[in-house]
Structure 1
Amino acid sequence: MIDLKNPNIPVNTTTYDRNQVDEPTENIYEAISIISRRAEQINVEIKKELIDKLEEFATYNDSLEEIFENKEQIEVSKFYERLPKPHAIAIQEWLTDKIYYRNTEEDSQE
């Protein structure tokens, strides 16, 4: 599970050293591909968690068949809006060696 309250993840745009990003793979395109796949995974996790939390506070009106938002739903939504973006979390995980990856081409040659 990802740590959404990690203060070390920048919320704003940040410039990274290209050499630091591609150091583990020695290929910037491969590194970006790995980071983007992880960002997609993080996005799915965050979205699922948000939907689950919003469902806890949902109140259904049988006559109008509408879901009314209450104060708790708005607070939960605001919390998730302030979180770092999935790509920023993925880059931070990559730079701190928290993403496991392997090259399947090298595995098949052995």
Structure 2
Amino acid sequence: MSINKKTLSSVNPLVETRDVVAIKNKTGNLYESITVIARRANQISVVMKEELHKKLDEFTSHTDSLEEIHENKEQIEISRIYERMANPALQAVNEFFDDKIYYRKK
């Protein structure tokens, strides 16, 4: 599972209030809606961490010198990109309201 970068850039990284009734109306139960959002947020978080670690592993070397540690600007830029992304919970809420999450009752 990968994350759509175009979708992530469109998510507002700032927290905004949401209508609790609108959240409840999606599934008929507020707590069920929150559970769906939380599970999707966990999935997004895991995928983001895996992608970040894969990208940062390209820069690892077994013989680090002080100059390499301080001069690795590409690694710093990758980290900044991931820091600017919206929180996984915000991304999950956005997907939930856009009907991009598939969920079902057992």
Q: Normalization by structure 1: what TM-score?
A: 0.83
CA distance in 1, matches of 2:62, 2:69: 7
2:37 is aligned with 1:28? no
Look up the equivalent residue of 1:23 and give its one-letter code.
N
Match of 2:88 among 82, 86, 94: 86
Instruction: Point out where structure 2 has 5 or more consecutive residues left out of the alignment.
Output: none
> SS of 1:43's equivalent?
helix
Q: Percent identity?
A: 43
Instruction: Point out where structure 1 has 5 or more consecutive residues left out of the alignment.
Output: 105-110
Structure 1 or 2: more strand by fraction: 1
> SS of 1:59's equivalent?
coil
Look up the equivalent residue of 1:32 and give its one-letter code.
I
Structure 1 or 2: more helix by fraction: 2
Q: Which has the larger radius of gyration?
A: 1
| Aligned twin of 2:48 | 46
User: How many pairs does the alignment contain?
Assistant: 101
| Aligned twin of 1:2 | 3
Look up the equivalent residue of 1:19 and give its one-letter code.
V
| Aligned twin of 2:103 | 101
Match of 1:16 among 18, 31, 46: 18
